[in-house]
Amino acid sequence: MNRYIFKKNLLCSIEDLFLMEHLHSIDSNELLFTVIPVMEEGKRYNSKDELMQRTVFSNGNIYGKVIGINDVVDVFSGLDPLFPLWVKISLKKQKNKPFLIELQTSVRFRKPSVVMNTGSKYPPFFIGNETALE
């Protein structure tokens, strides 16, 4: 996996999400995202995971901010070839505003061989109630 495959899988997952919600697709440059890091109890974290948690996913940086698709790809591919083990995608409808796509993400970054075998149609993305094989 690389940043281009990551972006392609993100866009395919969003397309599936919009189909499930019976919505028409919109231009990827108009998509807005918010990133919610999820700390998983009982899971082991390595030094790179902790680096991402303390810097990129900290409250003062990306956490809770609204960003565009290119920023999402930049953030998640910062440790390329390592990527988050899973990212859960959901749609947040806002009154009188564009749709907001919420990305709940594992802060455990792993090699593509691990990420690609989580049981997702478009690794590392899961839509709605899908869950990762851990």
DSSP-derived 3-state class of residue 46: coil
Provide the whole-model pTM: 0.88
Beta strand 109-110 pairing with 83-84: antiparallel
The residue type of 130 is E
Q: Judge whether residue 130 has pLDDT over 70.
A: no
% of residues, the chain, pLDDT over 90? 47
Mean pLDDT of the chain: 86
Give residue limits of the domains in the chain: 3-127
Window from 31-35, 48-52, 58-62 with minimum mean pLDDT: 58-62
Pick from 65, 77, 105: which is nearest to 8 by CA?
A: 77
